Amino acid sequence: MAYTAEISRNNPSCFLFIIDQSGSMSDKYESIGKPKSEALADVINRMLQQLVIKCAKSEGVRDYYHVGVIGYGATVGAAFSGDLAGKSLVPISAVANSPARIEERNKRISDGAGGLVDTAVKFPIWFIPTADGKTPMTEAFTLANNTISTWLNENPHSFPPVVIHITDGESTDGDPTEEMKKLTSQTSNDGNVILFNLHTIAKSTNPISFPDSEEQLPDQYSKMLFNAASKLPSFMRNVAVKEFNLNLSDEAKAFVLNGDIDMIITAIEIGTRPSLQLR
């Protein structure tokens, strides 16, 4: 289907992040020396902030998007903190108005003379890093299905939801394939739900991004994630090619294997670009 529905306040779209919070997420990314759980929490919080900025107009934040985060590890559930705790999906204006807290971070910026200086910036936090327990992926996707089904019933004409799943390990509560297939079979009038399956490891070896077949994949687990992921819509492929200089075929899947933090960020950037201008 075409993925051409206009995204507007009267016809919003949806982003849902599903984040592995199992004990192994405490392992540190070799490239940055930070636990995967903390690095990915920073990425998700930064993405939420960017979506707020994207939707900000002179009169306030327009609800072009509803967004949510599901975490799975020792528990499975909605993973916002603060006033949004327990809510699976909320309008972007609620995100803007309700960070759990605001931290002060250092950011390197140009000093105007060819150098860089550290400056303090405000960094809102909605999603707090957690690394504990096993990997109940199937239960997480069951919750995602229920969440997306409810949202689509209320927004049947929307640009379809984009679901971005990030994990570092295999499911410990059974094969999640059927729940993933159920998710991508859900539709608005404009097309099927788009699922990204992004696998990340602490020390990235033999990374594979957006393949078009399972031939180069090493095992059944990676093939499961590949086959369950959506084919990248043409507008996302265009972003990947034009902005990130990736060479992708028309059959490229929304799948990453053995990705480091930079590859995961690139995939999220590709997955959160709208196909049309916001109205």
CATH classification of the domain holding 147? 3.40.50.410
Give me the number of domains the chain comprises: 1
Pick from 77, 102, 97: nearest CA to 87:
77
* Lowest mean per-residue pLDDT among 13-17, 67-71, 83-87, 109-113: 109-113
Mean pLDDT taken over the chain:
94
**Is residue 2 included in any domain, yes or no?**
no
**pLDDT in the model for residue 222:** 97
For 147-154, which contacts have Cβ atoms below 8 Å and span 24 or more sequence positions?
Answer: 147/16, 147/68, 147/70, 147/88, 147/89, 148/14, 148/16, 148/183, 148/186, 148/193, 149/186, 151/14, 151/66, 151/89, 152/186, 152/187, 152/188
Residue 276 resides in a domain = no
pLDDT value for 90: 98
Domain contains 277: no
Output the pLDDT for position 104. 87
Q: What is the pLDDT, as a whole number, of residue 72?
A: 98
Query: Residue 231: which pLDDT band, with cuts at 50, 70 and 90?
Result: very high
- More confident of the two residues 115 and 199: 199
Cα–Cα distance, 145 to 123 (Å, whole number): 31
62 token code pair: 């327009």
In-domain check, residue 7 = no
Residue 44 structure tokens: 């998700």
% the chain with pLDDT above 70: 94
**119 vs 49, higher pLDDT:** 49
Residue 6 counted as domain residue: no
What pLDDT does 109 receive? 65
What is residue 240's predicted lDDT score, i.e. its pLDDT?
Answer: 95
Asked whether residue 218 is assigned to any structural domain, the reply reads: yes
Beta 76-78 vs 65-72: how paired, if at all? Answer: antiparallel
- The pLDDT of 221-238, averaged and rounded, is 96
Quote the pLDDT of residue 204.
83
pLDDT on residue 119: 80
Q: How many CB atoms lie within 10 A of CB 185?
A: 10
User: Could you report the per-residue pLDDT of 172-192, keeping only the tens digit for each?
Assistant: 999 999 999 999 999 999 999
Give a yes or no: residue 1 inside a domain.
Answer: no
Provide the pLDDT confidence category of residue 57 given band limits of 50, 70 and 90.
Answer: very high
Q: pLDDT grade, residue 23 (50/70/90)?
A: very high
Structural domain containing residue 228: 13-271
Q: What is the pLDDT of residues 215-226, one digit of tens each?
A: 999 999 999 999
pLDDT of 76-126, one tens digit each? 999 999 999 999 999 999 999 999 999 987 776 665 766 676 787 889 999
Answer whether 53's CB lies under 8 Å from 199's CB.
no
Residue 258 maps to a domain: yes
pLDDT for position 118: 73
